[in-house]
Structures are given as C-alpha cells and as structure tokens.
Structure 1
Amino acid sequence: MRLLNRSAGRLSRHRRGPVAGLVVLLLGLLMAGGLYAAFAPAQADSSASSEEQVAQGRDLFLVSCAFCHGQNGEGVPTQDGNQLGPSLVGVGAAAVDFQVGTGRMPMVQPGAQAPEKPPVFTDDEIAALGAYVASLGPGPAVPDESDYSTEGMTDEERQAAIVRGGQIFLTNCTACHNFEGSGGAMPRGGYAPKIRGVEPRYIYEALLTGPQNMPNFGNGNLSPDEKRDVIAYLGSLDEMPSYGGFGLGGLGPVPEGLAAWIGGIGILVGAAVWIAAHTTRSSKKKVEA
C-alpha cells in the first residue's frame, strides 16, 4: 500500500508539473485543429476560390486596364502632371462594380466624363476584377440588396423613407442632377447623368464611391439608411404623374420658358400675321356726280 501511495504521489506531482501542462495544451490545439478541419471544409474551399478569382481578375486587369491605371493599379501620370488613369488602391470592389458594370470602364479615350454604355465584361469577370482591385487595398465592398432595398417595409415606413430621401436629395443633389433626377450640364466638359430608372445598386455605389465629378458620400456623410432613403425617393419619381402636363423631360424652368416663348408666343405671332394677311380689305368707290 505504501508503494502504491508513493507511485500515485509521483504521478500527481508530474501532472502538476509545467511539462504536463504543455503536453495538455498541445493535445488541445491538435484536437481543435482536427475538429475545425473536419467540420469547416467549405471555408477552406472558399479561400482557394477567392485566390483563383483574384488571379483571374489580375489577368483581365493587365489586358484591359493596366495601360491607364498601371500594372499594379498605381495610376499613370502624364508628362504635364495630369493623371491618365487614377490610382485604384483603396477604391474597393464597389467602384469597379459601378464603373465596369455600367460600361463606363474601359473608356474609349480619356476625357472629363465617362459615358454610360453597354458593359464589356460578364458578371463573373466584373466580380473577378473587383476582387483583384479590392486586394490592392481596403475599400468599399459591393453592397448587398438589403442595403438599398425597401422590401419588407410597410407602406407607412416606405412613405417615411421617401420623404426623408427627398429632403436629402433636394439638399445635396438637385444642383447637379435636377430636382427630378434628369441630370444637367456641368463646367469643363462634364455633366451630371440622368439617374431616373437607374438600377438601385449602382446609385448606392455611386453615392459610396463618388465617380467622376461627383462628390463622395461615404458612410460618414450619409449613413447606409440615408442612402437607401434617397434611392426610395428616386424610385418614387417614376411612379409620380406629371401634374403640369407635358414636362419636357423634367429639365427645369429654362427649357419650359423657351418652349413657352418660342412655341407659344411664336404660334400667336404667326396666327396674327396670317389673320392680317388674309383679312378682306374694304375699298371705297368713287361716287360719280
């Protein structure tokens, strides 16, 4: 019995020793790693596919974008100090999704404004380009549908969002985009494009990234909920009837005034001239004595 007690005492002392603690810790780490590998294989596959997507995006970037933006997205300055293509480090996947998804990039030639046109790349290629640009530096990600959609709201909540969005739009956007979102001219060859009927995702990304001459309305300036409210307001404009009759595209008082002066008064002047030219003139006959 004494022998057994001595052996148990030695074992308990060894168990309490520092070496035994390290062994237990290593065994715990090995077991945790094995369980993670067994129950989370999809995450490892997702990481591998992401690396493949970045590699595909880089190949597309070198062929289609590197001439203006540099081989590593660092931008290409010209001899006079201007930028042929700006740096893409930190612009994020949202800027790529907007610019390439709306066909603005690649540009046909450098200019003050990139016009919208049919996209050149497929959705998968745009996602790959976005993944590569996102790997260059942290930036805004492509928004989820829940960020800009009003689905799931009640009618009262949706109307409240439209009212809030209208106030934000009238304060920040009408100077360039017109009170109806029909766009307008800007100095130095730029213009504010029409944003009526634009896909909500692209409006959200434009607010988030500030393309071309547009200022950046990041989450520090407009919260995600406020961006969603602006999109709800723009969507409501398509449902609103034109109470003034022929609205002339909602371009504002200047074209309406021109239409009134040239069209309305011009028609009145033309009618007056025609009436004067075709009125029967009376002639006096000489009365013979």
Structure 2
Amino acid sequence: MTRVVLLGFGAIGRQLVDLLRSELSDGLSVQAVVRDVAAHQQRGSLGAELHDAGGWADLVEGADLVVECAGVSAARELAPAAIAAGRGLVLTSVGALAYADTRERLLHGPGRLHVTPGAIGGFDLLEATAEADGLDRVRIRTRKLAASLVQPWMSDDEAEGLRTLRPGDEPVQLFAGDPAAAIEKFPGNVNVAVALAWATRGRGGDDAELLTRSLERVQVELIADPDARLSSHEILASGTAGRFELRFESAPSPENPKTSGLTAVSLAHTVRESLASLQHRSTR
C-alpha cells in the first residue's frame, strides 16, 4: 500500500483528497496532520486518516510521499523533516524557499523535493528558456480583491482602507520588489512569485545558489484591485530567447473563496507524477 502523509488539511488539502478519490478507492492511504483533529472530524475526513502534529516524525518515517499544504510557517518548521528522512516532499507553500535556511534544508537531500507551480502555468517554456540562458528579465504582477490582502502587520487605517475599496475605485499597489520581501509581507498571497523564481533558476550549479540568484532577478508587483472578480497573475519574461507574456485568472477553491482552485488541481497533478516516479523506481 502506498502511503501519503499530508501536512495540513485545510482548503487545499481537502480539495486535494477529493481530487485523489480514484486513487483512494484503489488503495492509496492518506494521513493528514492537523492542529485540531476533532474539528476536522466534524467536517468529515473525506477518507483521510487524521492525526495531530505530535506524531509527525513517526508518520514521516512510514510515508512513501509527504505533501505539504499548510502554509509557509508550517512548511519551514516541519517539512524539512521529510527531506532529512529521505522521503519525497511535494511543496505547495513554495514561499518557504525564499528563506535561505529553509532552502538549504530542502534542497540538499537526501529526500527529493517536488515543487508545485500552484495557480500559474507555462513553467515548461520558462524553465527551458532559463536553462538555455535565454531570460534576462522576469516579472509577475498579481491582482487580488483588496479584502483578501489585509495582513496582521497593517495599521488599522491601512486595513480599513483595503476593506472599504469599492468597484470603480483606483487599484492600489501594495508591494513592488523581490519575491523574498514579498513573502515576508504577504506569505499567503505570493507563493507563485517564488515558484516563478524556481522555474527560471536555470541550470549548471547548486539549486540553492541558482534559486538565490533567481530570487534577486524576479520582480513582483502585488495590486489590490477593487474590480477584480478573480485572482489574476501576469508574467512578463524577456531575454535573448524572446519576449513572453502569460496571464492566468483562476476560479476560487470550492473549500475557501480566498484560495485559488487551481492550486489543489496543480498539486494533485504533482502528487500523481511523484507517485508514478516512486512506483517506477520500485520496479527497476
């Protein structure tokens, strides 16, 4: 029996398990680590076995694959244990890679890291051109509804200003800079920026060092748009390979309207690919 351990069982984790229902019916075992087991049991486990974080180390030891979908803080704190134990790790909160200490722990094995692109795509093209040294400039502009961008560090006036934006008001640029600084301020909103840096890191060296340079090159803009109906991400990449513009608008998750529905869809694809890779290696 193949055993998958989820770190987190919120909107993304629950949608992921629902998307994997055919695999569950074929014998896939899913165990999920949550903060409040009783609360999740009341909502329904969707076929997953629920555990509290106290048993994390033992669950990792018995896992074939670990899947993180719990947010940047939890990813930094707990996910490296999967890599240290030699397990494959699917990382959803890619913003964790913006932190140098976490990069070192996740990218140097012995386990293998799988990065999911989340709510954006086109990474095959961007990764290929970056590997050929064909990109000089990479930028991502994210637009979201203002209320979803309110952060605990904001002053009362700043938070209220976002909450009271109405359709027809001018959009507000909340951030412009590099992905690492963006993640510090908006950890739940700009994971895609770090995923973009990962995809365009290039090749020919240590992944952690390549990603560090890529994080310095990628530019991020985060805009509170009162007219936004869906979250959108616009990517502009250019260099000797040409000029590329990509735009994505994603419908909200059925579990949580503040989360993109594409994140779990992308995660399910990455999980299936990772499981297939495990099965291939076991039959060699």
- Larger strand proportion of the pair: 2
Q: TM-score, normalised by structure 1?
A: 0.24
Larger radius of gyration: 1
Greater length-normalized contact order (CA 8 Å, ≥ 6 residues apart): 2
